[in-house]
Amino acid sequence: MKLYTVAILGATGAVGQEMMKILQERNFPVGQLKLLASRRSVGKTFPFNGQEIAVEEACDEAFQGVDIVLGAAENDIAKRFAPAIVAAGAVFVDNSSAFRLNPDVPLIVPEVNAEDAKNHKGIISNPNCSTIITVTAVNALNSIAPIKAMTASTYQAVSGAGAGGPVELMAQVEALSKGEKAEAKVFSHQIAYNLIPQIGGEQYQGYTSEEMKLQNEGRKIMHLPEMKVSCTCVRVPVVRSHSISVSLHFDKPVSVEEASAVIAKAPGCRLVDDLANHIYPMPLETSDQDLVFVGRIRPDLTDDNGLCLWCCGDQVRKGAATNAVQIAELLVK
């Protein structure tokens, strides 16, 4: 088996660390792993396949001889190093939003549009976490009838804001239990015992940048350029795993039985739907694994051609790190 030199850009962050874990879990054919981060992290070591790998400073020269770069850094870092990565002959699988809507850059969820990865020009984008979870849950329904529109609400865990999110939630819970003030630094408001109905800044007619991603990215991934999406993104006091409530609108009726049968067989999905026995997708059940759980499938009472469902998925794994490693697996195949 051919072995590959893999680099992780942003290796010390939550997603970068998860990428290391998943490369090992999935036995990705890594010959050499390079961990790249800012200068202040140089010299830190992390275990990988029985070795201790030292962090190197991210610089243009660091990508020489690398086959695949998994990006776990912010937009500005991705933009800064993308030219050097491509020039070095590596393929950049980028988790930031920097290139997602670039028409020359494939935007990939392997269970949905794996074939698009063949058209890359050195960069492949990993979609937004909620987009990945949602399209994995609903894409198979296109085999019954194309999705015309979606109305969605996302319930996004604090870890989606980075490693500081869970720390702040736990600190606020502890402070409030002692009668002390809950300090908000990571989030704009107290998140403990609260919901914050804003993720991202305003982008379009009162919709935030996070809310527009499901339409803009979903159209590209599912090859549905006319699909319309209204989305509300909410930060909730859950540590891990995002949940999404979706109303789907088709051009003909789709029965609950049809939808359930298709979703039960869809790659990357698990049908979890037994309301009478209180069985449905929940963040606690979907954390630290890679399937998207789908349930609460029912008719949309406002639309004869509509269905409603509820899905949950681990946004650190399937919504980020695992999806990126799956894209890398497409490349080595």
Q: Angle 129-138/209-222 helices, nearest 10 degrees? A: 40
What is 267-287 written as a DSSP string?
TTEEE--BGGGTB---HHHHT
Are 292 and 311 contacting, i.e. CB atoms less than 8 angstroms apart?
yes
Q: CA angle, 231 as apex, 16 and 119 as ends, to 5°?
A: 50
Structure tokens at 83: 């030219």
Q: Is 129 a catalytic residue?
A: yes
| Residue-wise burial string across 124-152, b where 16 or more C-beta atoms lie within 10 A, e elsewhere | bbbbbbbbbbbbbbbbbbbebbebebbbb
**Set 120, 242, 311, 312: catalytic member:** 242
* Distance separating alpha carbons of residues 115 and 25, to the nearest angstrom: 24
| 309 three-state secondary structure | strand
User: How many angstroms from the chain centroid is the CA of residue 190?
Assistant: 25
* Nearest CA-CA partner of 237 in 173, 176, 320, 314: 173
Task: Say which of 129, 233, 269, 308 is annotated catalytic.
Answer: 129
> 216 to each of 2, 211, 230, 307, how far by Cα in Å?
37, 9, 11, 21
Q: What is the DSSP string of 20-59?
A: HHHHHHTT--EEEEEEEE-GGGTT-EEEETTEEEEEEE--
Alpha carbon of 180 to those of 117, 145, 172, 177, 194: distances in Å?
51, 54, 9, 7, 16
Cβ neighbours of 231 (radius 10 Å): 23
State how far the Cα of 299 lies from the Cα of 138, in Å rounded to an integer: 15
Q: Which residues are catalytic?
A: 129, 242
